[in-house]
Homo-oligomer: A and B are copies of this chain.
Amino acid sequence: MTSRNQNVHGTGGATDSAGQPMRSDAERNRGRIIAAARTVFGRDGLHASMASVAREAGVGIATIFRHFPAKEELVAAVFADRMEAYAKATAEALAKPDPWDAFTGYIEEVCAMQAADRGFADMMTMSFPGAEALEALRAQAYQGFLELIDRAKDSGHLREDFTSRDLVLLLMANVGVLSAIGDSAPDAWRRLVAWMIQSFQAPARGPLPDPPEDAALYEAMRRASQGMGSSEAGKRR
């Protein structure tokens, strides 16, 4: 429905969904809003209010809702490029020669991206069924990660009982550390990730409880993104 043109920085002139050229002030404000949202979501996480984004952008609240009828759409617009960076990181990891290096480097990088952008951190543990482009990129990255896992297992460096769901678990755990510790110890997450990666390494030191089902993880991620309209915050802290 209301998905505006992505060509915001184009010189020739952006167009809206109906192909009409956007008025210059509208185009300018749209860019400002996205930039402001990038700042605010990155600092405060996805539960930052639309009003705070408006304040940062120097526009009225209504202007934001004109461009992005629901908060979810603003989120999708803002994190399109982060999701691209995420997918790109997967591709780059796949290009590395050493499978274990690729695997661990990838995990560290994704967790670092979470630490650098709290909005991205939240987004990695949510799913947005409405934002197809976003989810397509996520799925693409996920496929790449599956390949990284296979290679690392084949090389004998990764435990056989590691599954892709363990990364999701780690990402959720990382959000817990990041949002609990905040800026008091900005690097604390690195230690958590290091503990986990060393544990992923073969040989196994013992059996593990079963990982959660894929369906359960998906449901949890979908439910997390629901609570963005109207009430609750994480939320949630």
Interface residues of A (CB under 8 A from B): 45, 47, 122, 125, 166, 169-170, 172-177, 179-182, 184-185, 187-188, 190-192, 194-196, 198-201, 204-206, 208-213, 216-217, 219-221, 223-224, 232-237
Contacts and interface: CB of A to CB of B under 8 A. Distances in A.
A201 B199 CA distance: 10
Contacts of A191: 166, 169, 208-212
A186 to B, nearest CB: 9
Contacts of A219: 184
A217 B173 contact: no
Q: Is the interface of A mostly helix, strand, loop or mixed?
A: helix
Given A232-B233, A234-B237, 9 more contacts: A166-B195, A173-B176, A173-B177, A173-B192, A176-B177, A179-B236, A184-B223, A198-B199, A199-B199
A194 B208 contact: yes
Contacts of A196: 195-196, 199
Contact of A47 (B179, B181, B235): B235
Contacts of A173: 173-174, 176-177, 192
A185 B235 contact: no
B188 A211 contact: yes
A177 B196 CA distance: 14
Contacts of A175: 176, 180
A213 B185 contact: yes
Contacts of A180: 125, 172, 175-176, 220-221, 224
